[in-house]
Amino acid sequence: MAQTQDDLDNRSNQLNPNNDSYWKSRGYSERPDNWEHETNNSSNAEMDNHANQMNPNNEAYSSSRGGGKN
């Protein structure tokens, strides 16, 4: 099923830390005043781990989805 423009806009807003929908989808009632600090709080190790989990060629990808090695 194709996504509507409203679906695409909602997804975009939920991925944009400048948008209230981003924060509401993460359990906040609204965007915090210190939102720029909150979004810059990830360490390099956390960012590397996230990148590995998003890469289907990396072992962390399948293990983060409940599987073992591909």
Confidence band, pLDDT 50/70/90 cuts, at residue 4? very high
Q: How far is CA 4 from CA 1, 13, 39, 63, 66, in A?
A: 9, 14, 28, 32, 30
**23-70 residue pLDDT tens:** 898 889 999 898 888 777 666 777 677 777 888 888 888 888 887 654
What is the pLDDT, as a whole number, of residue 43?
67
Question: Cα(58)–Cα(70) distance, rounded to whole angstroms?
Answer: 9
What is the pLDDT, as a whole number, of residue 40?
77
Lookup result for tokens 């939102």: 35
What is the arithmetic mean of pLDDT over 15-29? 89
Whole-model pTM: value is: 0.51
Say if CB 25 and CB 31 are below 8 A apart: no
